[in-house]
Amino acid sequence: MKLPERNKVCSVESAGALDLKIRKLVHNPHTILKPFVKAGMTILDLGCGPGFFTMELARMVGKSGKVTAADLQEGMLDIVRKKVSGSDLQNIIEFHNCPDNKIGLEKTFDFVLVFYMLHEVPDKSAFLHEVYSLVKSNGQVLIVEPRFHVTKSDFDDSEKIMKNIGFEIIKKPKVFFSRSVLLKRI
């Protein structure tokens, strides 16, 4: 299935490039997420792709937590399902295939990860409003975007939307080759 050009999402056929072991040298999931994720939390991994962060999130929340791996492409979710099949992680990770132009979930989460995918969203304002509705009070959202795709001006514009929605900017964690912001729902 060919996705509409307007979405500009990374294809399932390119998923292997997102999941290279060498990538952990640049974007180590445990190192990036350790300050924000604790055992027992409920986590939403938006645009989970092949599960590069999903797997580590599941290990970090443990058996008392839950991770929802959400992606627009069922093929990406299938890759993650195959990875966790038969492991302890299959009881921690839930899967959600997002419909076009929305996330489509009803529950709320302690933490939401939006890693290298906000720039792929056609309507950032609608998307960020929906993200806001999915975060528990005092819950956090980490948004990380690639410097090579997203200009400082574009990222600043997204931050303005986030503030107008009601997010509080907590800090801007350092993530290699990236622009990032940690938000809190108040």
Note the pLDDT tens digit of each residue in 131-163: 999 999 999 999 999 998 899 999 999 999 999
60 in a structural domain: yes
Q: What is the per-residue pLDDT across 93-131, written as a single tens digit (0 to 9) for each?
A: 999 999 988 999 999 999 999 999 999 999 999 999 999
Asked if residues 100 and 65 have their Cβ atoms less than 8 Å apart, the reply is no
| 186 or 35, higher pLDDT | 35
Position 4 scores a pLDDT of 37
Q: What is the pLDDT of residue 112?
A: 98
Q: Going by DSSP bridges, is the β-strand pair 178-185/167-171 parallel, antiparallel, or unpaired?
A: antiparallel
Is position 12 within any domain?
no
Q: Is residue 14 included in any domain, yes or no?
A: no
> Quick one: which of 61, 45, 42 has its CA closest to 96?
45
pLDDT, residue 54, reads 97
Judge whether residue 91 has pLDDT over 70. Answer: yes
Q: Is the pLDDT of residue 176 over 50?
A: yes
Q: Tell me how many domains the chain contains.
A: 1
Give the pLDDT confidence of 25-74 residue by residue, as tens digits.
678 999 999 999 999 999 999 999 999 999 999 999 999 999 999 999 99
Alpha carbon of 103 to those of 28, 41, 54, 68, 124: distances in Å?
26, 20, 17, 12, 12
Q: Which CATH number covers residue 55?
A: 3.40.50.150
Report pTM. Answer: 0.90
Range of the domain at 135: 19-185
Residue 108 belongs to a domain = yes
- In a domain? residue 3: no
In a domain, 126, yes or no: yes
Is 66 within a domain? Answer: yes
- For residue 33, what pLDDT is reported? 97
Burial of 120 per CB tally in 10 Å (0-12, 13-18, 19+): middle
4 or 162, greater pLDDT: 162
Q: Tell me, yes or no, whether 2 lies in a domain.
A: no
